[in-house]
């Protein structure tokens, strides 16, 4: 307390000067129109700058709420765009299997359903593909899946608008195949090593096979795969360690890394064939 009185006593004259200066300035502004106008303009500018800085600080502390409101508004507008509405492909295309002509000139027909790939794995031991087309658009279990360049896999699960395919790059996948040159049979599977290569086993040693030869689906794969679909080309020829057959390394015709669109193939006479086979004594 004593220090306060000492401080006031020491600067009493200075404080008195400031008080009198303020009173003089107030009288001058109050009774002089020119000084009043200058004061009002200056005070208005200072107040405006202060309000702006305060508003900026307040806005900064409310950025989270502002951003959320903008995000909600953007989502609402995006949901109104036409591009936000989509439907699985429902088109159909009939193709003729020229390998199955009979004496009555009737041919087996396959139904091709175009579809979009929405999920595709290549790096697992058991790889699967999700396709944006389902039962409502005509997809059935065991339909073949083919890409622009060759075989992709086989449908194993179906719901209303989506289907799930077992890729050729799956340890459980096995396709009956032929060497196009000579029609030598074998079984194509994946060894889990490289997504660009398959393995064809049980190829007889009597076969004349060279690098670059085409490997196609066999006619006995007809329940799922139409015959003659390209699987890949021979990249390497090895002899099996035990037995008198070749093991062929097959470069896949399909690039599974860039797969975007496929066709689902239905054998429309499948039920007729299965019914006949089931009736065999």
How does pLDDT run across 180-214, given as a tens digit for each residue?
988 888 999 999 899 999 999 888 888 888 899 99
Statement: residue 56 has pLDDT above 70: no
Model confidence at 166, pLDDT cuts 50, 70, 90, reads: very high
Q: CA angle, 32 as apex, 30 and 37 as ends, to 5°?
A: 85
**Dihedrals phi, psi of 45, to nearest 5 degrees:** -65, -45
Can you give the residue ranges of every domain in the chain?
Answer: 2-80, 93-278
Higher-pLDDT residue of 83, 17: 17
What's the CA dihedral at 170, 173, 176, 182 to 10 degrees? 10
Question: Taking residues 137-158, what's their average pLDDT?
Answer: 92
Cβ(165)–Cβ(188) below 8 Å: no
Higher-pLDDT residue of 266, 17: 266
Tell me which fold the domain 93-278 belongs to. Thrombin, subunit H (2.40.10)
Cα gap 31→245, rounded to integer Å: 117
Model confidence at 83, pLDDT cuts 50, 70, 90, reads: very low
């Amino acid at each position: 307390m004593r220090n306060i009185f000492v401080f006031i006593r020491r600067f009493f004259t200075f404080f008195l000067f400031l008080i009198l200066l303020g009173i003089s300035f107030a009288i001058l502004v109050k009774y002089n129109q020119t000084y009043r106008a200058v004061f009002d303009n200056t005070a208005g500018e200072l107040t405006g700058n202060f309000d702006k800085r305060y508003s900026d600080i307040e806005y900064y502390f409310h950025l989270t709420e502002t951003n959320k409101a903008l995000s909600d508004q953007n989502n609402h507008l995006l949901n109104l765009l036409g591009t936000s509405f989509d439907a699985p492909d429902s088109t159909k295309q009939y193709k003729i299997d020229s390998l199955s002509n009979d004496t009555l000139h009737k041919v087996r027909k396959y139904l091709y359903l175009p579809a979009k790939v929405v999920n595709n794995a290549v790096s697992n031991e058991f790889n699967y593909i999700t396709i944006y087309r389902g039962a409502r658009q005509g997809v059935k279990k065991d339909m073949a899946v083919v890409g622009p360049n060759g075989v992709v896999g086989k449908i194993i699960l179906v719901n209303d608008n989506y289907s799930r395919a077992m890729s050729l790059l799956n340890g459980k996948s096995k396709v009956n195949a032929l060497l196009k040159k000579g029609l030598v049979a074998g079984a194509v599977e994946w060894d889990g090593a490289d997504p660009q290569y398959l393995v064809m086993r049980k190829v007889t040693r009597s076969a004349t096979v060279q690098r670059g030869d085409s490997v196609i689906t066999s006619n006995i794969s007809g329940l799922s795969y139409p015959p003659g679909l390209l699987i890949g080309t021979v990249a390497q020829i090895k002899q099996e360690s035990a037995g008198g057959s070749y093991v062929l390394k097959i470069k896949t015709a399909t690039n599974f890394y860039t797969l975007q669109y496929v066709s689902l193939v239905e054998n429309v006479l499948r039920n007729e064939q299965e019914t006949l086979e089931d009736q065999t004594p």
